[in-house]
């Protein structure tokens, strides 16, 4: 089988040809941390390394590794203006490297200097925010654009979109974490936002560019949103909400959780009010956030 010459190229090659599977690469590292021996295995032995995975899919990965040359792959990424950074490089985001299951590779578009952002705040919330959510977010988040605080969110409808658009409008800093490859877009109505983020800000994904959006990838992505930051702010969230998954990830990662309070009669405030009841920091102004970050200096 064709074998890339360097460790970084082998990591990129294996990651790209395995749909960016974290568990696949983890098994590879357990077998050989140089990632070199795989390329010398016949298909029967290669498949035996992954007994718990779909055997046909493992065979497909093996054949793809034989067909795809890493130099052609790197040229394709370059033509699409897609960069990448591996877990083992010095410019990999510092806080993200500390989580339990960090992405082996981040593919990105935009300003790669944001990868080194020292102060990040993750912002999440419902896809169907209340009429007052925008005003509250503008009041609290807009002043952060004057500080070196980078807003990290998931480029979904609702709170995510508002977060990114506020930072763009205020000439601040923002990172969008996608749950699919950079070649795709979901939902399609966010095309203009994605283009703007890819020019003036930063978009990242743990998946190779060709990977399409799938439902299970969105909860997986949440660990990266929280992993970028020292704290996660939940704006609005129902009692059972995907945003609460992100706050749980933050807590598991040893990070802080902030939350906007809301009226007890509002269903979109039930999740945030519960978080505050359980110990999340109640946020009423931008100063409440800024003082937390100043304490970290």
Counted residue by residue, the chain has a size of 297
Contact 108, 82 (CB under 8 A): yes
CATH 3.40.50.1980 fits 94-294, yes or no: no
CA-closest candidate to residue 178, choices 150, 201, 151, 154: 154
Say what the pLDDT of residue 9 is: 97
Q: pLDDT over 70 for what percent of the chain?
A: 99
What's the pLDDT band for 174 if we cut at 50, 70, 90? very high
CA distance 157 to 142: 19
CA distance 235 to 147: 20
Q: For the purposes of burial, counting CB atoms within 10 Å of the CB of 79, is it exposed (0-12), middle (13-18) or buried (19 or more)?
A: exposed
CA-closest candidate to residue 235, choices 197, 276, 204, 203: 276
What's the pLDDT band for 52 if we cut at 50, 70, 90? confident
CA distance 123 to 66: 41
pLDDT at 154 over 80: yes
Say what the pLDDT of residue 1 is: 73
Show me where the domains of the chain are located: 7-79, 94-294
Contact 160, 235 (CB under 8 A): no
Say what the pLDDT of residue 55 is: 93
User: H helices within the chain, ranges in order?
Assistant: 7-17, 22-31, 43-48, 55-67, 70-79, 94-97, 133-141, 159-169, 191-200, 217-227, 242-252, 270-277, 286-294
Q: Which residues pair with 152 in a beta bridge?
A: 122, 175
CA distance 270 to 244: 11
Report residue 167: phi and psi, to 5°.
-70, -40
Instruction: With 0.85 as the threshold, say if the pTM is over it.
Output: yes
Positive or negative, the CA dihedral 38, 44, 49, 54 is positive
Q: pLDDT over 90 for what percent of the chain?
A: 92
Reduced to 3 states (helix: H, G, I; strand: E, B; else coil), residue 205 is strand
**If you count DSSP H runs as helices and E runs as strands, how many of each does the chain have, helices first?**
13, 9
Say what the pLDDT of residue 296 is: 66
Say what the pLDDT of residue 240 is: 82
CA distance 117 to 228: 9
Structure tokens at 156: 């979904």
What's the pLDDT band for 239 if we cut at 50, 70, 90? confident
**Long-range CB contacts (< 8 A, 24+ apart) of 53-60?**
53/23, 53/24
What's the pLDDT band for 3 if we cut at 50, 70, 90? confident
Q: What is the mean pLDDT of residues 64-81?
A: 96
CA-closest candidate to residue 223, choices 126, 102, 117: 102
């Amino acid at each position: 089988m064709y074998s890339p010459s360097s460790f970084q190229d082998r990591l990129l090659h294996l990651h790209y040809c395995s749909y960016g599977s974290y568990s696949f690469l983890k098994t590879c590292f357990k077998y050989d941390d140089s990632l070199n021996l795989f390329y010398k295995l016949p298909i029967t032995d290669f498949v035996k390394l992954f007994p718990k995975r779909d055997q046909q899919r493992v065979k497909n990965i093996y054949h793809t590794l034989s067909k795809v040359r890493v130099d052609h792959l790197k040229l394709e990424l370059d033509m699409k203006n897609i960069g990448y950074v591996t877990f083992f490089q010095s410019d990999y985001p510092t806080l993200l490297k500390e989580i339990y299951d960090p992405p082996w590779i981040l593919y990105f578009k935009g300003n790669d200097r944001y990868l080194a952002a020292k102060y990040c705040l993750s912002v999440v919330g419902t896809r169907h925010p209340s009429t007052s959510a925008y005003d509250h977010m503008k009041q609290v988040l807009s002043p952060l654009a004057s500080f070196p605080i980078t807003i990290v969110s998931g480029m979904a409808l609702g709170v995510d979109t508002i977060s990114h658009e506020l930072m763009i409008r205020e000439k601040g800093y923002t990172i969008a974490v996608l749950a699919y490859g950079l070649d795709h877009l979901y939902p399609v109505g966010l095309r203009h936002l994605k283009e703007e983020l890819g020019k003036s800000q930063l978009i990242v994904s743990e998946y190779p560019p060709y990977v399409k959006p799938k439902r299970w990838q969105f909860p997986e992505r949440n660990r990266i949103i929280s992993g970028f930051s020292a704290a996660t702010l939940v704006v609005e969230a129902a009692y059972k909400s995907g945003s609460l998954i992100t706050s749980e990830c933050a807590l598991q990662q040893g990070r802080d959780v902030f939350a906007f309070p809301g009226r007890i009669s509002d269903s979109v405030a039930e999740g945030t009010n519960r978080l505050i009841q359980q110990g999340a920091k109640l946020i009423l102004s931008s100063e409440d956030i800024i003082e937390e970050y100043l304490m970290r200096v």
